[in-house]
Structure 1
Amino acid sequence: MTLPPTGSWMAFVLPPVLLIGSNVLMTFAWYGHLKRPGWSMAFAIMVSWGIAFFEYCLAVPANRIGFGTYSAQQLKVMQEVITMAVFAGFAVMVLGERLTWNYGAAALCLVAAVVFIFLPTGK
């Protein structure tokens, strides 16, 4: 597979799209088994590993395509914010948890991280 050129619209758009997909898969790999308490630990691990394989099939290309258009630090912060957003939705919709004020405060801290990591460095 040939990577799109650094700075192209595909190198700009594909990484966040692929990271969203990878985070949805990884959230199910890490936490989906909590809805299946009857599964043995070994079975839960095997199912999680199977899901994680497909997660890596999205995460690795996201980072390879995005690196150069984005810095490694920008890709990591982007991934963390996507992870928290995906997990918040998962926690509410799948696990039936409530989001409280402290989750909102943590989300604001993540937004601040995004602002700081994408500020020009003055190079």
Structure 2
Amino acid sequence: MIFDRLAPVFLLLGSNVFMTFAWYGHLKYKSAPLTWAIAASWGIALFEYCLMVPANRMGSALYSAPQLKGMQEVITLLVFAGFSTWYLGAPLKWNHWAGFALIVVAAWLIFLD
């Protein structure tokens, strides 16, 4: 069923939005104390885990663990590319895109039989 195949993808997408804010969102507020950045990141990461764990549980019925990880890496790169440009104001350069493309190729290889 299409829902079974796509639900993990959408959950991974949502979890990666939270993860990206948890890991990199504080870079916009470098004057804030490091302890605040850590506490805020941990709080945001809780929501990431609330989506990531079900994504992997559900996804493991159809995908292998390496396939789930490859999928997650590609989603992470796509979310990060948008986040870096939109939120941090740091658009990616050609070499970043080239490196990301190589990772996408690696993830594609994971799905081959």
**Counterpart of 2:72?**
79
Query: Larger C-alpha radius of gyration, 1 or 2?
Result: 1
CA contact (8 A) 2:81 2:91 kept: no
**Counterpart of 1:95?**
88
Shift of 1:15: 0.7
Shift of 1:98: 2.4
Shift of 1:81: 0.7
**1:13 lines up with 2:6 in the alignment:** yes
Q: Which runs of 5+ in 1 are unaligned?
A: 1-7
Alignment of 1:95-114 (within 5 A): 95-114=88-107
Shift of 1:38: 2.5
SS in 2 for 1:69: coil
Question: Aligned equivalents of 1:27 and 1:40: distance in 2?
Answer: 19
Same amino acid, percent of matched pairs? 56
Q: Which runs of 5+ in 2 are unaligned?
A: none
> What TM-score, normalized to structure 1?
0.87
**Counterpart of 1:69?**
62
* CA deviation map 1:46-69 (0-9, x unaligned): 110000001000000000000020
> Which of 29, 33, 46 pairs up with 2:26?
33
* CA deviation map 1:54-93 (0-9, x unaligned): 1000000000000020000000000011111111111111
Question: Aligned equivalents of 2:97 and 2:30: distance in 1?
Answer: 29
Structure that is richer in helix per residue: 2
Question: Aligned equivalents of 2:46 and 2:108: distance in 1?
Answer: 31
SS in 1 for 2:104: helix
Computed over aligned residues only, the root mean square deviation of the Cα atoms, in angstroms, reads 1.1
